[in-house]
Amino acid sequence: MAVTQHHNESMADHPDSGRNNRIIDVIGLGKDFDQNGQRLAVLSDVDFHAADGEFVSIIGPSGCGKSTLLNIIAGLSDQTVGTLRLRGEDAVNRLGTVGYMQQKDLLLPWRSVLDNAILGLEIQGVSKREARDRASALMDQFGLDGFEHEYPSALSGGMRQRAAFLRTVLADQQMFLLDEPFGALDALNRAQIHEWLLGLWERLKKTIVMVTHDVDEAIFLSDRVYVMSSRPGTMTLVMDVDLPRPRYLEMVTSDAFVTLKAQLLAAIRKERAS
Amino acid sequence: MSVVKQTPAHRTTTGPTWGASLTATGIRWLPAIVIVVGVIGFWEAYVRIFDVQKWLLPAPSIIAKTIGVDAGLLWGHTLATMEEIVVGFTLALVFGVALAAAIALSRTVERALYPFVIASQTVPIIVIAPMLLIWVGYGLAPKVIVVALICFFPIVVNMVDGLKSVDSDVVALMRTLGANRWRIFLKVQIPTSLPFLFSGLRIAIAFSVIGAVIGEWVGSSEGLGYLMIRSKPQFLTERVFAAIVILSAMGVTLFALVGIVEKFALPWWHREHGSEI
């Protein structure tokens, strides 16, 4: 069982998808925007969930409402209809509890790399000294050793992205939303950062929801991949990725990986055609 | 750790040696020096060849001599003008930044006060200055107010623009990190606005010299503007020019000073954009 039509709920028999284990649970969610007096449905009847410690990806074309969905989960905006539960509770005041890393690194140019990393801790009221100590301890793991006191403008694209990720990790929220975090990186940097990210995720034991348009990236990293259609955005496919962990770069050429990719691509193509 | 280690190598690649950077500075200023020397040379030659009277147009050499001879007198008036500028500029800075913050924080304040800020600039200072004499008296106050009025506008407008130029994605990031409106203002809006503020300060400091002179013209007993207005009817044209030279030097120096303060206050900005002064 790999590819299922979403609406027949056949994924309910997955061992990790018991309702009480769901840290993020989105049920029948919809979002309308007003555009020149007309109602524009951006999201419609979205069902989506992530269990504690899971890595879940959402694939979809540009403008399908992926970012809108992340904005709602993060608390930056609210849904028009439907339910959003975080840790099993209706999440009213969720802003600040969900880590959100956007495509742009959004490092503040007037802060050193170290002081950018501690932004979340500072806002939480941790003293600057302690925050800096905690960040310094992680610099090496994030490949930023020796760059603590540099301004972001001195960093390469990959390093800036890792610094932004360090800022997200240090804020110590239980779940992270990543919106096409590696879109700006070249293929070599991407492959490297994928392996690194998986290592980190396994240590942190956090829940990660990642939006991407890269099928390989989604399969390689995730426990489960959602496919989203556009206008209005809704989940059209769910695929469990049962590749063993830990995962290595070499796996992308393995039979199991290629089979999953073929299934996913075929399903996406079929979806586009209909 | 699979991420390739990189070391901060740019430190050694950028930043030329001292000698090279001094030479570069010399080359950068060469055109300005050539023009100044050329203009002064032509002026001097013209006055000598056509034997122009010094009450009509004094030669640069005579102006220089006047500055030397009248040094004590000029110095006293320079200090008076400088005091007006410094106090007026500081007042404009304090009130300008406070008003800009209020405008950026509150829509109501913006709608209520911003039109008046703009309207204040359309009132001719030359008309207001004599009124100030009647309202606040004859001392330092009216000149300081004129300077402050002139400096106020570029400071407020630039600072408001800066406070509003914040990337909405950064605001979203701050909110997901749990920051409230005030934290976002302090940690993002203020730092973002500082380069804008310094642009406003450069304009303001250049205008402040004019403001002080206008204030003195209307009514005063000291300052370089007062000295000019008193020297002209006495046909001491070389003294008028000496005052102009000192005022110009004062303006350039103050402008450069703002640039230097900016360089120290915003090192990150200069790392990214570079700057002449």
pLDDT tens for chain A, residues 1 to 274:
344 444 444 444 444 445 668 889 999 999 998 888 888 888 989 999 999 999 999 998 877 888 899 999 999 999 999 999 998 888 788 898 999 998 889 999 999 999 999 999 999 999 999 999 999 999 998 889 999 999 999 998 888 988 999 999 999 888 999 998 887 777 777 888 888 889 889 888 899 999 998 899 999 999 999 999 877 888 988 999 988 888 888 888 899 999 999 989 988 887 777 6
Pick among 1.10.3720.10, 3.40.50.2300, 1.20.120.350, 1.25.60.10: CATH of B59-273: 1.10.3720.10
Q: Is A93 exposed, middle or buried (0-12, 13-18, 19+ CB in 10 A)?
A: exposed
**How far is the C-alpha of A223 from the C-alpha of A11, rounded, in Å?**
13
Question: A interface mutation test: which of B173, B182, B188 has the most A CBs within 10 A?
Answer: B173
**How far is the C-alpha of B88 from the C-alpha of A3, rounded, in Å?**
73
**How far is the C-alpha of A177 from the C-alpha of A187, rounded, in Å?**
22
Nearest CA in chain A to B192: A110
**3-class DSSP state for residue A209?**
strand
**Residue A74: which H helix or E strand, with range?**
helix A66-74
**3-class DSSP state for residue B57?**
coil
Position B10 pLDDT exceeds 60: no
Q: Quick one: pLDDT at residue B122?
A: 84
pLDDT > 90 fraction of chain B, expressed in percent and rounded: 69
Q: Do residues B243 and B224 lie in contact, with contact meaning Cβ atoms separated by under 8 Å?
A: yes
DSSP-assigned letters across all residues of A114-177: HHHHTHHHHHTT--HHHHHHHHHHHHTTTT-TT-TTS-GGGS-HHHHHHHHHHHHHHTT-SEEE
Q: Do residues A57 and A121 lie in contact, with contact meaning Cβ atoms separated by under 8 Å?
A: no
**3-class DSSP state for residue A182?**
coil
Chain A contact for B170 (CB, 8 A cutoff): yes
Q: Sign of the CA dihedral B168, B174, B177, B180?
A: negative
**Residue A56: which H helix or E strand, with range?**
strand A55-59
Chain A contact for B49 (CB, 8 A cutoff): no
Question: B interface mutation test: which of A101, A108, A248 has the most B CBs within 10 A?
Answer: A108
Q: Sign of the CA dihedral A177, A183, A187, A189?
A: negative
Q: Quick one: pLDDT at residue A64?
A: 80
Instruction: Write the CB contacts of A17 (distance below 8 Å, at least 6 apart in sequence).
Output: A11, A49, A51
Chain A contact for B188 (CB, 8 A cutoff): yes
Amino acid at residue number B121: Q
Among the listed residues B233, B228, B231, the one whose alpha carbon sits nearest the alpha carbon of residue B214:
B228
Across the interface, of A108, A146, A151, the residue whose CB is closest to B7 is: A146
ipTM: 0.86
Across the interface, of B175, B176, B188, the residue whose CB is closest to A99 is: B176
Question: B interface mutation test: which of A123, A124, A141, A169 has the most B CBs within 10 A?
Answer: A123
Q: Do residues B176 and A95 lie in contact, with contact meaning Cβ atoms separated by under 8 Å?
A: yes
In chain A the first and final C-alpha atoms are separated, in Å, by 23
Position B137 pLDDT exceeds 90: no
Q: Do residues B4 and A145 lie in contact, with contact meaning Cβ atoms separated by under 8 Å?
A: no
Q: Quick one: pLDDT at residue A4?
A: 45
**How far is the C-alpha of B42 from the C-alpha of B49, rounded, in Å?**
10
Are the Cβ atoms of A142 and B3 closer than 8 angstroms?
A: yes
Q: How far is residue B89 from each of residues A262, B76, B93, B144, B160, measured CA to CA in Å?
A: 70, 20, 6, 8, 18
Domain segments of chain B: what residues? 16-52, 59-273
> How close B253 comes to chain A (CA, Å)?
27
- Name the token pair of B235: 């046909």
**How far is the C-alpha of A6 from the C-alpha of A12, rounded, in Å?**
10
- Name the token pair of B183: 């934290």
Question: Considering only CB atoms, which chain A residues are within 8 Å of B273?
Answer: none
Longest dimension (CA), chain A: 57
Q: Is B104 exposed, middle or buried (0-12, 13-18, 19+ CB in 10 A)?
A: buried
Are the Cβ atoms of B8 and A123 closer than 8 angstroms?
A: no
User: B175 vs A188, which has greater pLDDT?
Assistant: B175
**How far is the C-alpha of A246 from the C-alpha of A203, rounded, in Å?**
11
Instruction: Write the CB contacts of B234 (distance below 8 Å, at least 6 apart in sequence).
Output: none
CA A49 to chain CA mean position, Å:
12
pTM: 0.83
Across the interface, of A102, A145, A171, the residue whose CB is closest to B177 is: A171
**How far is the C-alpha of A145 from the C-alpha of A139, rounded, in Å?**
5
**How far is the C-alpha of B228 from the C-alpha of B235, rounded, in Å?**
10
DSSP-assigned letters across all residues of B124-145: -HHHHHHHHHHHH-SSHHHHHH
Chain A contact for B7 (CB, 8 A cutoff): yes
Are the Cβ atoms of B271 and A147 closer than 8 angstroms?
A: no
Across the interface, of B1, B183, B266, the residue whose CB is closest to A123 is: B183
DSSP B90: H
Question: Considering only CB atoms, which chain B residues are within 8 Å of A98?
Answer: 176
**Which phi and psi angles does B74 have, rounded to 5°?**
-65, -40
Chain A contact for B210 (CB, 8 A cutoff): no
Among the listed residues B246, B266, B259, B271, the one whose alpha carbon sits nearest the alpha carbon of residue B81:
B246
Nearest CA in chain A to B166: A108
Categorize the per-residue pLDDT at B58 as very low, low, confident or very high, splitting at 50, 70 and 90: very high
**Residue B251: which H helix or E strand, with range?**
helix B237-265
- Name the token pair of B17: 């040696």
**Residue A225: which H helix or E strand, with range?**
strand A224-229
Position B9 pLDDT exceeds 60: no
In chain B the first and final C-alpha atoms are separated, in Å, by 44
> How close A7 comes to chain B (CA, Å)?
31
User: B27 vs A1, which has greater pLDDT?
Assistant: B27
Chain A contact for B46 (CB, 8 A cutoff): no
Question: Considering only CB atoms, which chain B residues are within 8 Å of A97?
Answer: 178
**3-class DSSP state for residue B95?**
helix
Q: Do residues A34 and B136 lie in contact, with contact meaning Cβ atoms separated by under 8 Å?
A: no
Question: Considering only CB atoms, which chain B residues are within 8 Å of A147?
Answer: 6, 8
Q: Is B189 exposed, middle or buried (0-12, 13-18, 19+ CB in 10 A)?
A: buried
Position B2 pLDDT exceeds 50: no
Q: Quick one: pLDDT at residue B13?
A: 43
Chain A contact for B105 (CB, 8 A cutoff): no
